[in-house]
């Protein structure tokens, strides 16, 4: 598994009629597939998130959408950034992922996190709980999911989950890459060092160098080679010949870049790659500017040489 240049499709509000919605998603994924991106991610949410839109705006169910994208792409890895464990039963999630891996011929990535958007839980009937409870749930879920992905048949009884010789067949690969999102130095980073292939660091540009130092320390604590735990950052890219970083809202300046594709690439090198992060996952704010054909292609062509060198 290598994730160096990913695309996150983080919204489905394109100003189109519903029949045109998924074709627009497909067009974005196919641009990424053909222009140097190695992965495409969608969000695992049921409502649109604050800061992007209102809860009632279009949001496709993640694994249904990924299964469809598997059939219309050839190269990119496919996953969520990231699955909310609180509303995904671990045995069903293992089945989701192994099925996606079969459909995609070995391109599935399991991204998973604790879950955080309380409104979804409250309105849809999922237990939210405290952060500690959500983290405990994730820890238990991994004790079920990881063996199942390997073809084992775990039996487990915990506070939150119980399974008896659970299995997930068919499987395409012996190992499906595991990704976690977060940057907590006491819980998330140590968990990533113990169990995961990839850590998507959720932090501002000015925090990245320190977070990478912590990743290296936590790996050293358990005698793991830090090079075996890949890292990436989710970055917004406002693209255009007439845009500049000054146009990024103040609240987003630590997580977004702006300019031509070449200028975006320069900023990502300076702010992300030079801080020691292995790769970048981009989102384009299509909820603001709509989907503009060719934009993702241009970003891929500008960035691919930086992350594959």
Q: How far apart are the first and last CA of the chain?
A: 16
Q: What are phi and psi of 254, to 5 degrees?
A: -90, 0
- Average pLDDT for consecutive 10-residue bins of the chain (309 residues)? 92 91 97 97 95 92 98 98 96 98 98 95 96 95 97 97 97 96 92 95 96 97 96 95 85 92 96 97 87 95 88
* pTM of full prediction above 0.85: yes
Distance CA 178, CA 56 (A): 31
Tokens coding 29: 């994924």
Distance CA 59, CA 78 (A): 17
Per-residue CA distances from 103 to 1, 73, 218 (Å): 18, 11, 35
Distance CA 150, CA 201 (A): 26
Position 309 scores a pLDDT of 59
Q: Show the domain range for 108.
A: 5-308
With H, G, I as helix, E, B as strand and everything else as coil, classify residue 111.
Answer: strand
Cα 271 to the center of its chain, rounded Å? 20
CATH number at residue 148: 3.20.20.30
Distance CA 240, CA 236 (A): 13
Tokens coding 221: 């604590």
Tokens coding 156: 């487990």
Choose among 27, 35, 29, 26: nearest CA to 7. Answer: 29
Position 107 scores a pLDDT of 98
Position 247 scores a pLDDT of 84
Distance CA 60, CA 43 (A): 9
Cβ atoms of residues 198 and 232 within 8 Å: yes
Choose among 173, 181, 179, 180: nearest CA to 149. Answer: 173
Position 1 scores a pLDDT of 61
Q: Which residue has the tokens 């500049």?
A: 244
Distance CA 17, CA 289 (A): 16
On the CB side of 119, CA atoms within 13 Å amount to 9
With H, G, I as helix, E, B as strand and everything else as coil, classify residue 296.
Answer: helix
Position 283 scores a pLDDT of 95
Tokens coding 204: 């501002």
Cα 89 to the center of its chain, rounded Å? 19
Distance CA 215, CA 192 (A): 9
* Torsion, CA 112, CA 190, CA 140, CA 70, rounded to 10: 20
Domains of the chain: total = 1
3: CB partners within 8 A, 6+ apart: 38, 39, 77, 109, 177, 179, 198, 230, 232, 278, 279, 281
Tokens coding 152: 């084992």
Position 162 scores a pLDDT of 98
Choose among 228, 233, 274, 277: nearest CA to 255. Answer: 233
């Amino acid at each position: 598994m290598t994730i160096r240049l990913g695309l996150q499709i983080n919204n489905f509000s394109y100003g189109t009629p519903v029949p045109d919605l998924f074709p627009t998603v497909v067009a974005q994924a196919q641009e990424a597939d053909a222009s140097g991106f190695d992965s495409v991610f969608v969000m695992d949410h049921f409502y649109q998130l604050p800061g992007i839109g209102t809860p009632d705006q279009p949001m496709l169910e993640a694994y249904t959408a990924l299964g469809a994208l598997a059939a219309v792409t050839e190269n990119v890895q496919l996953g969520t950034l990231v699955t909310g464990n609180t509303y995904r039963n671990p045995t069903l999630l293992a089945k989701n992922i192994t099925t996606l891996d079969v459909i995609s011929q070995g391109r599935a990535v399991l991204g998973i996190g604790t879950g955080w958007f309380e409104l979804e839980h409250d309105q849809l009937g999922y237990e939210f709980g405290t952060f500690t409870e959500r983290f405990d749930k994730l820890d238990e879920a991994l004790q079920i999911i990881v063996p199942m992905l390997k073809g084992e048949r775990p039996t487990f009884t915990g506070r939150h989950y119980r399974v008896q010789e659970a299995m997930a067949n068919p499987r395409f690969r012996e190992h499906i890459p595991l990704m976690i999102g977060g940057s907590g130095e006491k819980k998330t980073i140590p968990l990533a060092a113990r169990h995961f292939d990839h850590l998507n660091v959720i932090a501002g540009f000015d925090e990245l160098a320190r977070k990478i130092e912590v990743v290296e320390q936590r790996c050293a604590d358990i005698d793991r080679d830090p090079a075996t735990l890949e890292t990436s950052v989710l970055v917004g890219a406002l693209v255009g010949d007439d845009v500049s970083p000054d146009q990024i809202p103040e609240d987003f300046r630590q997580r977004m870049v702006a300019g031509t594709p070449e200028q975006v690439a320069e900023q990502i090198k300076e702010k992300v790659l030079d801080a020691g992060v292995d790769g970048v996952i981009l989102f384009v704010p299509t909820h603001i500017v709509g989907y503009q054909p060719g934009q993702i292609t241009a970003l891929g062509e500008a960035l691919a040489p930086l992350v594959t060198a």
